[in-house]
Amino acid sequence: MPQSTNLFLIIAIAFTQATVFSVIVFFRPLPNNSNKLLSAFLFLSASGMLPWIFKLSGVINLFPRLLHTPCGFFFLIVPVFYIYVLNVANQLKRKHLLHLLPGLFEFLFLFFIFLLPNDTRNKFYNVKAKTFFGILYTFIWPLYSIIYAILSIRLVNSYSKIIPLFYTNLNGKLLKWVKVTGYMLIVNFLLEFLAVYFAVFQNSRVSAIYVSAITNLILIYWITINGLLQKEIDLPISEYNELLLNDSSDNNNLAEQEVNNQLPLNKTDESIQEENLTNDIDLKNFDLVIDLFEQKQVYLNKDISLFMVAEMTNLNIKEVSRLINQYAKKNFNQFVNSFRVVEAKKHLNNSEMNHLNLTGIAEKVGFNSRSAFFSAFKLQEGITPNEFKKAADNQSDKKGD
């Protein structure tokens, strides 16, 4: 009895927290409605606990039909999380809603069975469908959920290659917590697999539900906290593939241009004039971009983005990205950080800045963290800021002598 009481308390706490968090997240104002999807995920996670609450509380004895309430939504839970990730990453399209169909079919089928007379329904569950549901929820459901967890991880991996093309301040934009959640879901459903296996085939229902309730409780807290901290990320989905292609194929394009320059091409005077005119326009536009960085020092703004540069120069986002790729041979993130590193070197060489530590210098030149500063500095200079500072101090000492 105490064991059942403890189990009921754990499940009741998990259910209550998931329900409360679902409401809190739902009413958090976000223009892209990702909060609504996260709220749906939390609600679906909570609903699967209801039959166990009915059973452990004794309510099931008064209303036996509640045992088969179609509120598990098992084949909807992780697909909804995947839809949420797509939405946060600004990649959600109508076609992606097809991922919800298996879960909706599951609900409609179970709802139909729920409406059957008690004797027919009990006979179906206890005789005809026992093996089927055992296989479905022991093997297929965990595997199905793991596949969607993997899809979420892969989505974040591809997305993390895109985001530096738009922003330099990547805090809260790389969706690292989503990737961690994906791995947590995989571990969770492997445990679910073991839990359901022991519950169905080894009759160790209490131990199985303990494992399921505790892991769900941890996941609910983790996802809720990170979901509430997640800010909206404004990215134009139509530009994704083209900008990513421009960045990844930059070296190939340069090589092709060098080869083409060496080949004797039969160009008409008109095509040459057109090409020269295009180059002149490009150079003027790129000068606008350079002016923002060299004269107005917009790189000192930690939140500078491709959108802001495009707005300040009255150029299209794709155009700004193309110009930076073509003439600076860098993506947007690398381009901005190159100016910051140059500015940081001035400070490191300046004895009047000795009162600032490296973190202070990093913030002063626009980096949002010490680690981002060190990474960009070493990538550009081949040494760390510490090593550069020591070399600068040694050079200064020699001049003093």
Predicted confidence pLDDT, tens digits, the chain (401 residues): 455 777 788 888 888 988 999 999 998 877 678 899 999 999 998 888 888 788 888 888 888 778 788 888 899 999 999 999 999 988 888 999 999 999 999 999 999 988 888 888 888 877 777 778 878 887 888 899 999 999 999 999 988 888 888 888 888 888 999 999 999 999 888 877 776 666 555 555 666 667 777 888 889 999 999 998 888 887 765 555 555 545 544 444 443 443 344 444 455 544 444 455 567 788 899 999 999 999 999 999 999 999 999 999 999 888 898 899 889 998 899 999 999 999 999 998 888 888 889 999 999 999 998 999 999 999 999 999 999 988 877 776 565 55
Measured in degrees and rounded to the nearest 5, phi and psi for residue 8 equal -60, -40
* Whole-prediction pTM: 0.80
Residue 249, domain member (yes or no): no
> Quick one: 223 and 289 in the same domain?
no
> Quick one: 303 and 214 in the same domain?
no
Quote the pLDDT of residue 1: 46
Residue 328, domain member (yes or no): yes
Q: How many domains does the chain have?
A: 2
Residue 269, domain member (yes or no): no
Residue 170, domain member (yes or no): yes
Quote the pLDDT of residue 384: 92
> Quick one: 18 and 125 in the same domain?
yes
DSSP one-letter string for 28-80: S--TT-HHHHHHHHHHHHHHTTHHHHHHHHTHHHH-GGGGG-S---TTTHHHH
Measured in degrees and rounded to the nearest 5, phi and psi for residue 167 equal -130, 160
> Quick one: 330 and 212 in the same domain?
no
Residue 242, domain member (yes or no): no
Q: What is the CATH classification number for the domain harbouring 217?
A: 1.20.1070.10
Last residue of a domain, one of 219, 235, 251: 235
> Quick one: 86 and 230 in the same domain?
yes
> Quick one: 199 and 123 in the same domain?
yes
Quote the pLDDT of residue 265: 47
Quote the pLDDT of residue 199: 58
Coarse DSSP helix, strand, coil percentages of the chain, rounded to the nearest 5 percent:
80, 0, 20
Quote the pLDDT of residue 53: 85
Residue 96, domain member (yes or no): yes
Between CA 318 and CA 307 the distance in angstroms is 10
Between CA 23 and CA 39 the distance in angstroms is 7
Between CA 90 and CA 84 the distance in angstroms is 10
Residues 6 or more apart in contact with residue 195 via CB below 8 angstroms: 207, 208, 209, 211, 212
Q: For residue 220, what are the domain limits?
A: 2-235
Q: What is the CATH classification number for the domain harbouring 368?
A: 1.10.10.60
> Quick one: 290 and 223 in the same domain?
no
Residue 24, domain member (yes or no): yes
Question: With 0-12 CB in 10 A as exposed, 13-18 as middle and 19+ as buried, what is 172?
Answer: middle
Between CA 247 and CA 227 the distance in angstroms is 30
**Which tokens sit at 287?**
């000068």
Quote the pLDDT of residue 120: 85
